[in-house]
Structure formats: structure tokens, C-alpha cells
Amino acid sequence: MKAFFYTLLLIASSIVVASAGNFHRDFDITWGDGRGKILNSGRQLTLSLDKTSGSGFQSRNEYLFGKIDMQLKLVPGNSAGTVTAYYLSSQGPTHDEIDFEFLGNVSGQPYTLHTNVFSHGKGGREQQFRLWFDPTTDFHTYSILWNPKRIIFSVDATPIREFKNWESIGIPFPKSQPMKLYSSLWNADDWATQGGRVKADWSKAPFTASYRNFNANACVVAKGKSSCSSNSASASASRTANSAWLRQELDNASQARMKWVQKNFMIYNYCTDAKRFPQGLPKECTAMTS
């Protein structure tokens, strides 16, 4: 059975996003003083980090629900102390956020994939994973599916985490604040690698991460109006197969693959950290197992 699921993961790892955006059209490099670069006529983007500064970019569009895909190739070699962040976020003290963060490693050691969900300014919902491949030798697809019922994190089309809408038991869920897509490469050697015990080796700088094949099948919000609203000219598109993600959930096969990943590659789950929550685990943790 284990070998069977591993085979599925290898097959899924070969899946490539069919349609790609253009970085010149879809994104702005927002900081880094030239350390972020758009290449190959907008088909690729790189971010770099040295001892002076990192770099970052953000989407021009804001989204309220969507299926977001991006292919990343992470910093190779000794990337200790670096963090490559790729996330959706709104702004303000009660912001919503959906995070992928890749915590750098010592050469030969695995990356840590850190995930988190913020709702109305409250986070603390971390799950961490090792990856079943080397994310520095080739591009791999990291996806966020966000609809009114759930958030699904996927790697090469393999779901690794699901966060459901538990508003029925008083848990806030991101559903009203449009979010932009952000990414950054920055120095976090005070905590990123082995709790900050391993610092960045600046003799290896610049550290560089690469991006390609961005795709957003999503509801775009502009001037307060969503492209998926009932009075929008594109509303009919929300009833087509192209927006099936608005109702998408994990089928039995996908749930089995996610459970296999969590059993074999999850290294931290806030819902099992009783020491962190001496007054009791968060309510959604109980709901997930009931």
C-alpha cells in the first residue's frame, strides 16, 4: 500500500500547469533594489537574497476565492537561514492569509514546508512537512485552492492539507477580504533553520529562487466588485467547468493521498500540540476528528 501511494505521488509530481500567466502583466516587483528580475519575456521570475537585502513581488490583481498555481524551484545547496514565502494575504490588523513558507536547510538536509492560515488577524494554525523530493533541482507546482467551504494546499496536485470552514462552531474563515498573491525571499536565520541554531552562510550568496507557470483560475476583485458576482458579465463562467473549484472538495482518492502524506511527511501539527494549548486544543481540531 505504501509503495502504491508513493507511485501516485511520483505520477502527480510530473503534472505541469497547462496555462501560464505573464509576470510582466500579472505582478510587480515591490522591493529588493534590483534583486528581483523578470526574465524570458515574462515567462520566468527570480528573487535573490544577499547579506544586504532580499526581494519580493506581489500580484496586481486581488482575489476572493480561486485556484492559484505557481511553479517554484527553491534555493539550492546550503540555504540555511533563508525563507522563501509564497502566500495570499489581505491587509490590516484583521487580515486573512494563506501561507506556504519554505524554510532553508543545511546542504544534504531536507527543506521544511511550513503552512499556516490566518482568519481575521488570527493565525497560529501551523502544519509543517518534509517534501518527498528535492525542491531545488527542478520546478514543482504549489497550489492553493480557496473556496467558501475549504482551503486545500497541494504540491504537484497532491493535497497535503485541508482547512475547512468551521464558522458553524465559531471559527473565523477567510471569505470576505480580497487577497493579493505575494512572494519574498528573505533572511530569517534567527529562527528558520533548526530554530536559529544554523545561520546563513553569506559566502554562498546570492541565494536565488525561481518562479514560472503562474495560473490563477479565480474571482478577481476590482473597485469592490468580483468577476464572479451574479451581476458580472463573466458570471456565466462561474457555472462552467473552469470554475469547478468553487465547489471542489477532496474525493476519496485525494483524501487517501493527503492522509498518506500527513502520516509520512508531516513533522508538526498544531492540533496535536497539547503543550502549546494547555487550556485545550483549538475547537477546529476537535471538529476535524469528530
> Which residues are the active-site residues?
97, 101
Apex 261 CA angle, 258 and 262, nearest 5:
85
Query: Which alpha helices (H) appear in 206-278, and where do they start and end?
Result: 252-265
Are the C-beta atoms of residues 86 and 56 closer than 8 Å to each other? no
How far is Cα 252 from Cα 261, in angstroms, rounded to an integer? 14
In 3D, which of 173, 175, 200 has the Cα closest to residue 283?
173
**3-state DSSP call for residue 256?**
helix
Cell numbers placing 123: 493565525
Q: Is the peptide bond before 148 cis (omega within 30 degrees of 0)?
A: no
Ramachandran angles phi, psi of 135, nearest 5°: -80, 5
